[in-house]
Chain A
Amino acid sequence: DAGVIQSPRHEVTEMGQEVTLRCKPISGHDYLFWYRQTMMRGLELLIYFNNNVPIDDSGMPEDRFSAKMPNASFSTLKIQPSEPRDSAVYFCASSSGGEQYFGPGTRLTVT
Chain B
Amino acid sequence: DQQVKQNSPSLSVQEGRISILNCDYTNSMFDYFLWYKKYPAEGPTFLISISSIKDKNEDGRFTVFLNKSAKHLSLHIVPSQPGDSAVYFCAADTGNQFYFGTGTSLTVIP
Per the CB 8 Å criterion, the residue count for chain A at the interface is 22
Of B36-44, B63-71, B78-86, the stretch lying at the interface with chain A is B36-44
Per the CB 8 Å criterion, the residue count for chain B at the interface is 22
Question: If the complex has contacts A42-B89, A43-B89, are A102 and B43 also in contact, measured as CB distance less than 8 A?
Answer: yes
> Does B20 reach chain A (CB closer than 8 Å)?
no
A91 touches which of B34, B43, B96, B97 (Cβ 8 Å): B43
> Does A55 reach chain B (CB closer than 8 Å)?
yes
A42 touches which of B43, B45, B46, B100 (Cβ 8 Å): B100
> Does A25 reach chain B (CB closer than 8 Å)?
no
Contact A45 B43 (CB under 8 A): no
Interchain nearest-CB distance for B17 vs A (Å): 26
Please, which residues of chain A bring their CB within 8 A of the CB of B43? Answer: 4, 91, 93, 102-105
Q: Which residues 79-111 of A sit at the B interface, judged by CB distance below 8 A?
A: 91, 93, 98-105
Which chain A residue shows the least CB distance to B98?
A45
Contact A55 B96 (CB under 8 A): yes
Interchain nearest-CB distance for A34 vs B (Å): 11
Interface residues of B (CB under 8 A from A): 2, 6, 32, 34, 36, 41-46, 49, 89, 91, 96-103
Known contacts A42-B101, A44-B100; 19 additional CB pairs below 8 A are: A33-B98, A40-B102, A41-B2, A43-B44, A43-B89, A43-B91, A45-B100, A48-B98, A56-B97, A93-B43, A98-B32, A101-B46, A102-B36, A102-B43, A102-B45, A103-B43, A104-B42, A104-B43, A105-B41
Would you mind naming 7 contact pairs between A and B with Cβ atoms under 8 Å apart?
A: A42-B6, A42-B89, A42-B102, A55-B96, A98-B32, A99-B49, A101-B46
